């Protein structure tokens, strides 16, 4: 029985005492929710196509805006690339918090378009206000609402907009009761990815089914890894991802930080971006989590950084989340944190650097073993049979981040369902006053 299963098997009183009545269930249910989301999206696809056609999408002059507050904003970061490429249009991921304060900068264009709003509850003040601002100031924009709550203010408001909006409500179980968004986030990402497959929902459903298989593999394999890393009591964590996986890194860094009530400071970046300064924040107390691409060209850059971190012995521990160990084979010695790096080229670091170079695409094509480049590995496709494109993997990667958050929260003596001991953060943001927009001069 893995550590997540242990939590799920506790009796009701013990779950209540530990504050794990909701979050473990909501993490575990995600593969089921992803499949349900894909079916709901496929049923709604004809209505969404009509909405898009009204603003000349795809293949026209219309644009698309992905928006949400907090975690819901990160949905757009996961889907922006594949969706805008499929729709052949300009697309932006813009947080509702920016739209409320600076709509003229957040959405500067006067072109017709679609605003896709993501919301777990649909009751966050900024989420409602951003849609109101766009309705008032950009009447040529149509609205697609993707939410986990049919009774939320956002769903109710847009339901009255007739041809200007369509609301897709996900399964009620995705309206997470825990403070940290888990199945709500990943299910909204799955729904958003459907926009890249409006003309081929059968392919989309098949891809989501394969994604669900990968997600279930992570749910079974990752809890023990997460518990071991949490037991190391890191002071920082760094999440890295490329392309759509960067969105998963952004979400995971927030998940771990909020579930430890800010005791564990987290940051995120792309594999190439972190070299431009932020890598200095990887200290001896830092866990580094790599969401590794399967696309060879991208993975070359990622392996370069992993190898550099290994050679310089930065960080407390390193975790790779990747498709399968068979992508690279062979053997690499585990890192020796006491090694003298002034040794001859025959030392482990030099040998591993040579192997990494070969893996990265040198003529010899010699492979290395991913497991030798990190303290821990989680493989979501250990048989190498799922063939999931990288742009569909953000939900799978995020499960690993959620589990790190869950077990780090318990390690810190917090209640994962409500980890903010001082009540600083809430399930639905509180204390935000929306002020009327002043008339333009």
Residue stretches of the chain with pLDDT short of 70: 59-60, 325-368, 422-431, 439-441
Does the domain made of 212-411 have the CATH classification 1.10.3720.10?
Answer: no
Residues 6+ apart with CB under 8 A from 317: 229, 232, 234, 287, 288, 375, 376
| pLDDT for residue 441 | 40
| pLDDT for residue 367 | 61
| pLDDT for residue 346 | 42
Q: What is the pTM of this model?
A: 0.89
Domain topology for 20-199: Rossmann fold (3.40.50)
For the chain, domain boundaries: 20-199, 212-411
| pLDDT for residue 142 | 92
| pLDDT for residue 331 | 34
| pLDDT for residue 429 | 62
| pLDDT for residue 342 | 36
Q: Do domains 20-199 and 212-411 have the same CATH topology?
A: yes
Return contacts of 44-52, CB within 8 angstroms, 24+ apart: 44/166, 44/168, 45/194, 45/198, 45/201, 47/166, 48/144, 48/166, 48/168, 48/195, 48/198, 49/198, 51/114, 51/142, 51/144, 51/165, 51/166, 52/87, 52/114, 52/142, 52/198
């Amino acid at each position: 029985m893995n550590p997540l299963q242990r939590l799920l098997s506790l009796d009701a009183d013990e779950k209540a005492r530990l504050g794990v009545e909701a979050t473990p269930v909501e993490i575990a249910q995600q593969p089921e929710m992803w499949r349900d989301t894909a079916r709901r999206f496929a049923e709604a696809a004809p209505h969404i196509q009509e909405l898009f056609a009204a603003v000349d999408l795809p293949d026209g002059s219309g644009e698309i805006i992905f928006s949400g507050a907090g975690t819901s904003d990160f949905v757009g970061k996961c889907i922006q690339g594949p969706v805008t490429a499929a729709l052949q249009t300009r697309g932006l991921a813009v947080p509702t918090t920016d739209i409320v304060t600076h709509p003229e900068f957040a959405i500067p264009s006067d072109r017709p378009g679609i605003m896709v709003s993501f919301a777990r509850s649909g009751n966050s003040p900024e989420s409602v206000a951003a849609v109101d601002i766009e309705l008032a100031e950009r009447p040529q924009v149509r609205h697609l609402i993707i939410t986990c709550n049919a009774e939320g203010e956002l769903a109710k408001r847009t339901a009255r907009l007739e041809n200007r909006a369509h609301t897709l409500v996900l399964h009620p179980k995705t309206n997470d009761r825990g403070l940290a968004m888990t199945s709500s986030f990943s299910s909204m990402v799955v729904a958003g990815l459907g926009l890249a497959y409006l003309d081929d929902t059968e392919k989309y459903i098949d891809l989501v089914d394969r994604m669900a298989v990968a997600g279930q593999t992570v749910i079974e394999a990752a809890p023990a890894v997460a518990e071991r890393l949490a037991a190391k009591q890191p002071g920082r964590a760094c999440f890295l991802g490329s392309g759509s996986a960067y969105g998963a890194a952004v979400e995971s860094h927030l998940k771990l930080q909020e579930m430890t009530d800010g005791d564990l400071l987290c940051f995120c970046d792309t594999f190439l971006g972190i070299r431009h300064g932020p890598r200095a924040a990887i200290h001896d107390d830092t866990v580094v989590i790599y969401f590794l691409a399967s696309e060879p060209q991208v993975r070359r850059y990622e392996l370069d950084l992993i190898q550099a971190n290994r050679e310089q012995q930065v960080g407390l521990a390193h975790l790779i989340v990747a498709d399968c160990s068979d992508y690279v084979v062979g053997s690499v010695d585990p890192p020796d944190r006491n090694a003298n790096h002034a040794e001859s080229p025959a030392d482990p670091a030099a040998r591993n650097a040579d192997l990494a170079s070969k893996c990265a695409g040198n003529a010899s094509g010699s492979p290395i073993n991913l497991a030798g480049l990190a303290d821990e590995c989680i493989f979501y496709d250990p048989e190498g049979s799922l063939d999931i494109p990288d742009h569909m993997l953000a939900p799978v990667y995020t499960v690993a981040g959620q589990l790190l958050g869950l077990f780090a929260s318990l390690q810190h003596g917090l209640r994962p369902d409500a980890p903010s001991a001082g009540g600083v953060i809430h399930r639905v943001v509180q204390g935000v006053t929306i002020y009327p927009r002043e008339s333009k001069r």
